[in-house]
Structure 1
Amino acid sequence: MAATPEVLWAQRSSATDAAKNYIYLTISVPDVQASKLKLDLKPTSLSFSGHSDSLKRDYQLELDFYAEIDPTESKINPTGKNIEMVLRKKELKEEFWPRLLKDAKKVHFLKTDFDKWVDEDEQDEAPEEDLAGNMGGMGGMPGMGDMSSMMGGGAGGDFGGIDFSKLGGGAGGDAEGEEEDDDDDEDMPELEEDEEAGKASSKIEEVN
């Protein structure tokens, strides 16, 4: 009996630019040869069946989309690990789809692709060139570069301008270290004096 593969999804939306209005869809089935794969993409549905050589299992999937896509403008990229797709949404709309599937019922095999997901109100912050590059490469992480710079900027904003060596704890530690060094230096002459006293005592005993 055919198993249902895990499906990951994320999306972008735009009311003016069709190239930024799409669904990321990944069918997680490894080692599916092209000769053992069937994929039928229609405006309102997707049908997939395939056989994994490494797992020695047959897989089958049927999806009915929440809204229409444009199959002619969509991309499919079978890899050795999975099948990656970028599905172009047919309707230009600023709002995200509320869900991937037509039916609101939750299904166990469908999960959010957090590597590619961004919130609806944050997607415009991702540089356009990054989005374009990831569309071509299929499998990049739009917004991650921007997120990294934001995180770096946040750290700089929190800690910038603060000299940790001048903080109370750091200064105290340095002062203690200096005092300990001074104590060590002061002890050295005392040890030398003790040694000289010991030698003098030995000479007196020899004379006696």
Structure 2
Amino acid sequence: MTTASPPPVMWAQRHAVVFLTVCLEDCKNPEIRIEPDKVYFKGTGGTEKKEHEITIDLYNEIDPEKSLKAVRDRNIEIMLKKKEDKHGYWPQLTKEKKKYHWLKVDFNRWQDEEDSDDDVVGGGGDLEEMMRSMGGLGGGDSKPSFDDLDPLEDSDDDDMPDLE
């Protein structure tokens, strides 16, 4: 019997929320449980269609009722709403201060404590709108079109100068 391996997970945080991205392609109908002190994930996906499973014991409490999740083609995005009285920055995602091979920081979504709180959920932000914007290029199946871009002249096309 083989045991399920943990999927790659990226995380980032803001003052009032924690973002988790489970990096597993083509994961249909994963089991996701969000509890006040942990997140459980189980699903089959990736190029090898392997089973993945993980329980993440969180550093601090979250509000499962206000937390959101979205299963996408390329990953699963989870936004955990920190408990009102537990707002503030966590020194790490997990309860134990330990380095995990499957966990990485998502620097594209990270916001430091000193950064502006303009887009912080709970500071006037809308959870659903923030979740929609997490998808990248807008809602639905929209794909970028590169047809209207001007081709740039490539310096590699120039002749090489003679060697002296």
Check whether TM > 0.5: yes
**Shift, 1:134, TM fit:** 5.3
Structure of greater Rg: 1
Tell me, yes or no, if the aligned pair for 2:60 and 2:86 is still in contact at 8 Å.
Answer: no
SS class of match (1:137): helix
What count of residue pairs does the alignment treat as equivalent?
Answer: 132
| 2:150 aligned residue | none
Structure 1 letter corresponding to 2:37: T
Displacement of 1:123? 3.3
- Describe the shift of the 1:78–1:138 C-alpha distance in structure 2 as closer, same or farther (beyond 3 A): farther
CA distance in structure 2 between the aligned counterparts of 1:112 and 1:12, rounded to whole angstroms: 13
Show the counterpart of 1:3: 5
Q: Which one of 119, 130, 133 corresponds to residue 135 of structure 1? A: 130
- Looking at structure 2, the residues matched to 39 and 94 of structure 1 have their Cα atoms a distance apart, in angstroms, of 23
Unmatched 5+ stretches in structure 1: 14-20, 142-208
TM-score calculated relative to the size of structure 1:
0.57
Deviation, 1:137, is 1.0
Distance 2:67 2:22 in 1: 15
1:29 maps to 2:24: yes
Q: RCO (CA 8 Å, sep 6+): is it higher in 1 or 2? A: 2
* Counterpart residue identity of residue 83, structure 1: I
Identity %: 35
Q: CA deviation at 1:27?
A: 0.7
Deviation at residue 125 of structure 1 after TM alignment: 5.4
Q: Pick from 83, 87, 111 the counterpart of residue 80 of structure 2.
A: 87
1:46 aligns with 2:46: no
Q: Structure 2 CA distance, aligned partners of 1:33 and 1:108?
A: 24
1:82-161 to 2 correspondences below 5 Å: 82-93=75-86, 95-124=88-117, 132=126, 135-139=130-134
SS of the aligned residue for 2:115 comes to: helix
Gaps spanning 5+ residues in structure 2: where? 137-164
The answer as to 2:78 corresponding to 1:76 is no
Instruction: Please report the TM-score for the alignment, with normalisation by the length of structure 2.
Output: 0.71
The 5 Å alignment of 1:152-171 reads none
Q: 1:87 to 1:69 in 2, by over 3 A?
A: same
Deviation at 1:124, TM superposition (A): 2.1
Instruction: Sort the Cα spacing of 1:66 and 1:138 in 2 relative to 1 into closer, same or farther, 3 A.
Output: farther
- How far did residue 103 of structure 1 move? 0.4
